Amino acid sequence: MITFTGEYPCKIDAKGRLLFPVGLKRQMGKEVQDRFGVRKNIFTKCLDIYPWSEWELLLKKMKSRINPYNRQHNEFITEFFKGTADITLDSSGRMLVPKWLVDWLEIKNGDIMMVGQNGRIQLWDNATYNSRGMSEEEFASLAEKLLGNQTFNEED
């Protein structure tokens, strides 16, 4: 499993091309991949980018829980795949994000932020990314609520 961390300010051109950050590529290690599954984030206005191996794991997990003959499940599948794309890195290490996804993000001046987030990378319009978030106190309270009763050790 790949784990991504860090923030990487980047530029994206009018055609949706961006140079994939070396720091993120390095974090893939021997598993460097040039194919990615991309989807609109369900909760915020950013893209979730998964190395293909992680994308396949996500789809496999989803498939095991979804019954396409259940109307509600079928609606979920339709909505989930509405905002997806299969993208690759070219020989120069550039990623081509489909124009319709770039337009949906409302990117200003080509400034974006790529953020490592466990097994995925989020792609944000830089202004949107920098204008959101919570105070340190709010984050501390949320961390305590979600993780305060957990025991962390090396075996987990």
**pLDDT tens readout for residues 88-131:** 999 898 999 999 999 999 998 999 999 999 899 999 999 999 99
Distance separating alpha carbons of residues 9 and 130, to the nearest angstrom = 11
pLDDT range class, residue 151, cuts 50, 70, 90: confident
Tell me if 2 is assigned to some domain: no
Q: What is the domain-level CATH number for residue 107? A: 3.40.1550.20
Distance separating alpha carbons of residues 19 and 11, to the nearest angstrom = 8
pLDDT digits (tens, 9 = 90+) for 14-38: 899 999 999 999 998 776 678 999 9
How many other CB atoms are there within 10 angstroms of residue 123's CB atom? Answer: 26
Tell me if 105 is assigned to some domain: yes
pTM score: 0.88
For the chain, how many structural domains are there in total? 1
Q: What is the pLDDT of residue 155?
A: 63
Tell me if 133 is assigned to some domain: yes
Tell me if 152 is assigned to some domain: no
pLDDT digits (tens, 9 = 90+) for 44-63: 999 999 999 999 999 999 99
Domain that holds residue 80: 7-147
Q: What is the pLDDT of residue 154?
A: 61
Q: Tell which residue, 76, 97, 78, 77, has the closest CA to residue 86.
A: 97
- Over the chain, what is the mean pLDDT? 91
Handedness of CA 54, 29, 7, 108 (dihedral sign): negative
Which helix or strand (DSSP H or E) is residue 21 part of? none
Task: Using the predicted structure, report yes or no on whether residue 42 has a pLDDT greater than 70.
Answer: yes
Tell me if 156 is assigned to some domain: no
Query: Which three-class secondary structure state does DSSP give residue 144?
Result: helix
